Structures are given as C-alpha cells and as structure tokens.
Amino acid sequence: MRTLVLILLCVSAGVEIESRFQVRDKLLRASLPSLQEVQSWAEKTALLGKKRALSWFDGVTNPSSNARKAALVGKVVNVIDGDTVELRLGSATRVIRLDQIDAPEIGQPWGRRARQGLNRRVAGQQVVAEIAGSDRYERLLATLFVKDQNINREMVQSGDAWAYKQYLTDSRLLDDEAAARTARIGLWRGADPIPPWEWRRLDR
C-alpha cells in the first residue's frame, strides 16, 4: 500500500461532516492518487503564496464543489525547529510550516526547547497535515494531527510557541496562549520573552 494518502476534507452546506479520520479510513479503502499527481499538487501549492483557495485541485480527485481543505498523510522525518518539520511523502519530502503559530527561533531563548517539544510530539510519527496554503518560502502551511491531537494547539498550550496573531484564524489559540502565560509554563517562565517575529527583525 502506498505510504502516501491524499485526503480531501469536504464541507457541504447543511450536511454533518465526518471526522477527518473517518474520511481517511474510507479513502484508504478507495483508489488512491498516484505519487506523481500528489507531487504535482504540492508544487502547485507552492505557487499559491498565502492564498487559501485550492480549487484547482479538483482535477486530481474531482471532489465536491464545496471542498475547502486538503490534507496529506505522511511521516515526519525531521524536526527543523519549533514550528517546521519535513514530511516524507512516498519517496519525496516536503517542508511543512505549522500554521497560525510561531515558535522561538533556535538562537533565541527557549528556541531549542521548543524544537525538543515538537520533536517529542511528532518525530517519526505518521501525521495528518491539514493544508491551509503555502508561504513565501514555498513551505506548506498546515495544522498537524497525530491521531486526535492538534499539535499546533499543543505547542501553544505547553508554552513552546506563540499564537501567530498576524495570521490567526482560530481564536482558541489566543486563549491557549493566555492560559500558558498565566501558568508561567514553557517560554513564559522568562521575565519578558520576545516574540519570534520581533526577534527576527532585531536579528537582521
């Protein structure tokens, strides 16, 4: 069986949606797209910039016209830092940037701890990556799931990352960040932690 599964999560108006895992299980029993088709899809995603629409993907699996999200299933083969991993898709790999969160850079306080936190959660794991688009570095933006665990949220809840307010669409991450800050866990143990987006400006 191919190690790569491409999942289209469809949203139909007025219809109750099955969980991503029910959809995945059904697709595992169905015919799968070829690796070439998926690689072509990933390359096209890189050209989208920060656009969220993935409608051009209809030609691969002919999903519902209401399809809004796509997801990849692959194995995490490298954890680059606290918000970036490499995902193996068959014989190819693709860099995944965790969407809506921003972890400390490796060179700033808690940066290596954040990487360790993400490594502990996903290294060597089979994950579902819900794709939201791609960034200017051609990394796919995604929310990672290990079974039913939302890894992006866990990184914020454990104080290993900030909610990335500039690109936020899930307001629950703000509550997660506030709770971690109040509990003074993770990076919030520091007296005055500097957000990564400010650190990057200072580091230029």
What is the number of alpha carbons within 13 Å of residue 111 lying toward its C-beta? 14
Say how far apart CA 158 and CA 169 lie, in whole Å.
20
In terms of phi and psi (left: phi > 0; alpha: psi -120 to 50; beta: otherwise), the region of 189 is alpha
Query: What pLDDT, on the 0 to 100 scale, is given for residue 127?
Result: 97
- Max CA distance (Å), the chain: 54
Q: Give the confidence band of 131 by pLDDT, cuts at 50, 70, 90.
A: very high
User: Is the pLDDT at 133 greater than 60, yes or no?
Assistant: yes
Query: What pLDDT, on the 0 to 100 scale, is given for residue 59?
Result: 25
CATH number at residue 76: 2.40.50.90
Say how far apart CA 77 and CA 31 lie, in whole Å.
26
Residue positions annotated with a catalytic role: 97, 105, 139
Residue 86 has which token pair? 């490499």
**Tally of domains within the chain:** 1
User: Is the pLDDT at 148 greater than 50, yes or no?
Assistant: yes
More confident: 124 or 41:
124
Q: Any idea which residue has 């995604």 for tokens?
A: 142
pLDDT for 15-49, tens place per residue? 333 445 554 454 444 444 444 454 555 555 444 43
3-state secondary structure 109-132: CCHHHHHHHHHHHHCCCEEEEEEE
Out of 15-29, 66-80, 101-115, give the one with best mean pLDDT. 101-115
**160, 137 in Cβ contact below 8 A?**
no
Query: What pLDDT, on the 0 to 100 scale, is given for residue 37?
Result: 54
pLDDT for 90-107, tens place per residue? 899 999 999 999 999 999
pTM of structure: 0.69
Instruction: Give the range of the structural domain holding residue 116, as residue numbers without chain letter.
Output: 5-202
3-class secondary structure, 57: helix
* Pairing label, strands 140-146, 126-134: antiparallel
Alpha carbon distances (Å) from 116 to 76, 78, 106, 110:
14, 12, 11, 10
